[in-house]
Amino acid sequence: MIQALSRLITLKEFLTLPETKPASEYIDGQIIQKPMPQGKHSTIQTEFSTTINVALKPQKIARAFSELRCTFGDIAPQGQAQRSTVLDVSVFTWQKIPRDQNGQVANTFSTAPDWTIEILSPHQSQTKFTKNILHCLNHGTQMGWLIDPDEQTIFVYLPKQQPEVFDQSGQRLPVPAFAHELNLTVGLIFGWLLE
């Protein structure tokens, strides 16, 4: 849902507003509230984050975050070129995870994730998610996935390449080089909905 505003606001103004539930995002000067995740969305999001963290976190290769606010982009006069989005799953390689002075994970993430995963829920715009993925790719993300549970399809986006479509159960899904040990298939991802 887009909040009706009499004018576009800046990213700086947006970041001073209180957090909402579900989360609101800042895109092109507008505040857009995300819909509450439903069952299929939540299941895939949880399982995906767990799978990444079990495989990559112990070796300090990468870490997956669910519903993490990431704020980055080029600064335009009115701030519209920047986005502050809450991505369904953001995967950061270990060395890119921002840390505070105590070495703990920081609260603010101001860089693009290395891998972004967006999951469609009923009545959500595929266009909005595609724009978020492309924004990430334009700012250093290595790979983006758009998962459509209803169509049992996964779109894979790479920088400056045509998206690939995966919709056959046995198809092995491409992953970023840092996650090469993951063996993910279309059937595995959508099989989580049967467990």
131-143 pLDDT, tens per residue? 889 999 999 999 9
Q: What does the pLDDT average to over 90-112?
A: 95
- Residues of the chain above pLDDT 70, percent: 89
pLDDT band at 13 (very low <50, low <70, confident <90, very high): confident
Q: In the predicted model, what is the mean pLDDT of residues 18-23?
A: 77
Residues of the chain by 3-state class (helix, strand, coil), percent to 5: 25, 30, 45
How confident is the model over 81-96, as a mean pLDDT? 89
Q: Quick one: pLDDT at residue 81?
A: 63
More confident residue, 159 or 23: 159
Q: What distance in Å separates the CA atoms of residue 187 and residue 190, rounded to the nearest whole number? A: 5
Domain 36-194: top CATH class: alpha beta
Say how far apart CA 133 and CA 100 lie, in whole Å.
Answer: 27
Amino acid in position 47: E
Q: Residue 11's CB: how many other CB atoms inside 10 A?
A: 19
State the DSSP H helix or E strand holding residue 137, giving kind and residue range, or none if neither: helix 126-138
38 has pLDDT over 70: yes
Greater pLDDT, 23 or 186: 186
Tell me the average pLDDT of the chain. Answer: 87
Indicate the domain borders of the chain: 36-194
Is pLDDT at 80 greater than 70 in this prediction? no
Helix (H), strand (E) at residue 15: helix 11-16
Question: What is residue 41's three-state secondary structure?
Answer: helix
Q: Which residue has the higher pLDDT, 184 or 36?
A: 184
**Tell me, what's the pLDDT at 90?**
97
